[in-house]
Amino acid sequence: MSMLNFLAVTTGATGVNPWVALAYLVAGVCFILALRGLSSPATSRAGNRYGMIGMTIAVVTTLITHDIASLPEIGIAIAIGGTIGFVIARKIAMTAMPQLVAAFHSLVGLAAVLVAGAAYANPGAFGILISHIDPTGLETLVISPVSRIEMALGAAIGAITFSGSVIAFLKLNGNMSGAPIMLPMRHVINLGTLVAIIVLTALFAMTDPAPEWMFVAILVLAFVIGFLLIIPIGGADMPVVVSMLNSYSGWAAAAMGFTLHNTAMIITGALVGASGAILSYIMCRAMNRSFISVIAGGFGAEDTGGGDGAVKIDRPWKRGSAEDAAFMMSQAEQVIIIPGYGMAVAQAQHVLREMGDLLKEKGVSVKYAIHPVAGRMPGHMNVLLAEANVPYDEVFELEDINGEFAQTDVAFVIGANDVVNPAAKTDKSSPIFGMPVFDVGKAKQVFFIKRSMGGVGYAGVDNEVFYMDQTMMLLSDAKKMVEEINKSLVD
């Protein structure tokens, strides 16, 4: 659509002047540039700036063109929310970032539900009333059918996002088991609930006046299905869940944008929804999962495997030391470092970068291998390495580096298990079966940093590589062990 067509459509739909439509268009362009910038660590800072600029334009334009509340009230609300956000941003640890993202997604979903509720309770303030003549000839004002569809969809998607994000938060935060929680006939229940929501939405749109019980029933069922969709999903698949919930929050915002007649909200929500869906699709391909199964819920879960009941392999293993690792890596031609959530927990990214710098000073080629689902959210490891100022050209995705392990002297795995576990290729009963993993077992020497041999990773699957002849286990806190390795490299 050309700019002139966009302005014409926007002006005709909302009654605002072309300058307002142009401001929203500029905000939309900024959001697109933000997404483009966030696609690469090298341009992520610029992407964030574009997003902030676009949001500022959209918010200011909305405030000065809509008589929604007094500016002092809005200023107080912004100050309260901004203060809370600032405090959280300053205090939150990087290890808690995934659950923070899930919590924020839940707030977006809840906001959509509240907006839909407000529109239903006071439709005149939202400009969604139309004239209706009942069978007795009495003329009344009712909510337009189109607005009822928008309202119901926005409320339903928002409710799903809210309850699903709450479950994701509880799993990521450790308040709920990361293992899949299976319900009998869960797919039948999910399908039946979804069909009921669709039928009620259709009835809600066609019935004049729209009965309150239908709106409440849609909300209740949506809250329930959000809960049911997420609890069957195991810990190994949580990064895709976070991405999908992000997409849901975007579509909820877009639906509410139609109810509010706000073009910027529609654009922003659609961008977030589409980009989240695309990212989820990419991650599903990287994990060999079905995208349709993601939406259905429980896509990574089986009734066996995973969780606390994982069976450990009873075989001998070799214990190494920081001195062993420092010596072998200093003699190597190439070292590939594979970080995981254990690195995030220990906040070891900075000392890990120092280790890489020390090895490079000794003439060793150092590369970092990042799995699409390493950590607890998309890009978790990339964020940590960028925070530690690891050069972008040393960071490689799975498909770009996996073929190099056979020619690599040392594979250094720090706090990762599932993304290097060959059970994903060999064990059909494993909850991670089908997920592409790093072939660290092909390296000449493998070092694993983990706290103890008792842990089996977030997916609850033991790792055959632990017991290979070329593997040495470095049992310690990740940061402490890397600090000891750095000391040995310097000495």
**What is the rounded CA–CA span in Å between residue 247 and residue 162?**
12
Torsion angle defined by CA atoms of residues 439, 383, 285 and 165, in that order, rounded to the nearest 10 degrees: 130
Nearest Cα to 175, choosing from 109, 103, 244? 103
For this structure, is 418 an active site residue? yes
Going from the C-alpha of 87 to that of each of 79, 99, 235, 408, the distances in angstroms are 12, 16, 28, 44
Question: Which runs of consecutive H residues, i.e. helices, occur in 231-262?
Answer: 238-260
Please check whether residue 306 is in contact with residue 462, taking contact to mean a CB–CB distance below 8 angstroms.
Answer: no
Please check whether residue 339 is in contact with residue 374, taking contact to mean a CB–CB distance below 8 angstroms.
Answer: yes
Please check whether residue 297 is in contact with residue 232, taking contact to mean a CB–CB distance below 8 angstroms.
Answer: yes
Please check whether residue 401 is in contact with residue 369, taking contact to mean a CB–CB distance below 8 angstroms.
Answer: yes
- H or E element that contains 395: strand 395-397
447 in helix, strand or coil?
strand
**What is the rounded CA–CA span in Å between residue 185 and residue 183?**
6
Choice among 237, 418, 439, 462 that is catalytic: 418
162-174 exposure pattern, b = at least 16 Cβ within 10 A, e = fewer = bbbbbbbbbbbee
**What is the rounded CA–CA span in Å between residue 88 and residue 432?**
33
Beta bridge partners of 334: 365
**What is the rounded CA–CA span in Å between residue 357 and residue 351?**
10
- H or E element that contains 448: strand 445-450
Nearest Cα to 471, choosing from 400, 421, 403? 421
- As annotated, the active-site residues are 418
